[in-house]
């Protein structure tokens, strides 16, 4: 992934019920162990592409509760990861869509904007990778999302990963759009 443009990325996880699969038979060991009629499996899809307009530039609305002095994040924040997480119970589809964007700051040269988007792209890539690694945990966030039919566990996992990576990418802010 290059750091010269804003990126759009999408991760989807879809639950595959064992009854929907071609081989509906239960193995003899599952029957003897009293196991369930097969564990559900999940398929995942990932796409990541440059934003068609190049760089996205955005700014947050003033919020005096979060930032009492100025109403805005500090000047150390130069880029954002904008995240939309959702779960659709009808299609059994869990989604995480992100965009990386620069923050408009005064007296910035074009190269400053290009340099500022790099950490957001790298952090989003790290979060995406770590989510992919952790989805294999049978009792983890992925199973919880499908069991509870909501995206809360994914949202919590994303926030946990952001906190772990924040010291490596101090200029990036995660904006979770609910």
Q: Phi-psi bin for 118: left (phi > 0), alpha (psi -120 to 50), beta? A: alpha
Mean pLDDT across 35-52: 63
Domain assignment of residue 60, yes or no: yes
Domain assignment of residue 151, yes or no: yes
Q: Which three-class secondary structure state does DSSP give residue 118?
A: helix
Q: Which residues contact 168 (CB under 8 A, 6 or more apart)?
A: 123
Q: Per the structure, how many domains does the chain have?
A: 1
Domain assignment of residue 1, yes or no: no
Domain assignment of residue 33, yes or no: no
Q: Residue 35's CB: how many other CB atoms inside 10 A?
A: 12
Domain assignment of residue 24, yes or no: no
pLDDT at residue 169, rounded to an integer: 97
Distance CA 78, CA 101 (A): 9
Domain assignment of residue 145, yes or no: yes
Domain assignment of residue 30, yes or no: no
For the stretch 121-172, pLDDT in tens is 999 999 999 998 887 776 789 999 999 999 999 999 999 999 999 999 999 9
Domain assignment of residue 85, yes or no: yes
Owning domain of residue 139: 7-18+38-177
Cα–chain center distance at 112: 26
Tell me the percentage of the chain whose pLDDT exceeds 90: 35
Q: Which three-class secondary structure state does DSSP give residue 32?
A: helix
pLDDT at residue 93, rounded to an integer: 93
Which pTM was predicted? Answer: 0.76
Pairing type for strands 7-16 and 79-88 reads unpaired
Q: Residue 39's CB: how many other CB atoms inside 10 A?
A: 10
Q: How confident is the model at residue 18 (pLDDT cuts 50, 70, 90)?
A: low
Q: How confident is the model at residue 2 (pLDDT cuts 50, 70, 90)?
A: very low
57 pLDDT more than 70: no
């Amino acid at each position: 992934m290059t750091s010269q443009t804003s990126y759009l990325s999408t991760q989807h996880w879809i639950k595959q019920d064992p009854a929907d699969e071609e081989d509906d038979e239960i193995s003899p060991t599952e029957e003897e162990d009293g196991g369930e009629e097969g564990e559900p499996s999940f398929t995942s899809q990932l796409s990541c592409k440059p934003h068609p307009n190049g760089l996205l530039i955005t700014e947050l609305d003033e919020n005096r509760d979060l930032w009492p002095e100025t109403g805005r994040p500090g000047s150390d924040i130069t880029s954002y990861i904008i995240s939309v997480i959702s779960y659709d119970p009808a299609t059994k589809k869990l989604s995480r869509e992100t965009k990386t964007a620069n923050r408009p700051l005064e007296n910035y040269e074009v190269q400053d904007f290009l340099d500022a988007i790099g950490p957001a792209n790298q952090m989003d890539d790290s979060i995406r990778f770590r989510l992919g690694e952790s989805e294999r945990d049978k009792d983890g966030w992925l199973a919880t999302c499908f069991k509870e039919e909501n995206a809360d566990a994914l949202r919590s996992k994303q926030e946990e990963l952001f906190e772990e990576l924040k010291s490596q990418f101090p200029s990036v802010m995660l904006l979770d759009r609910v």
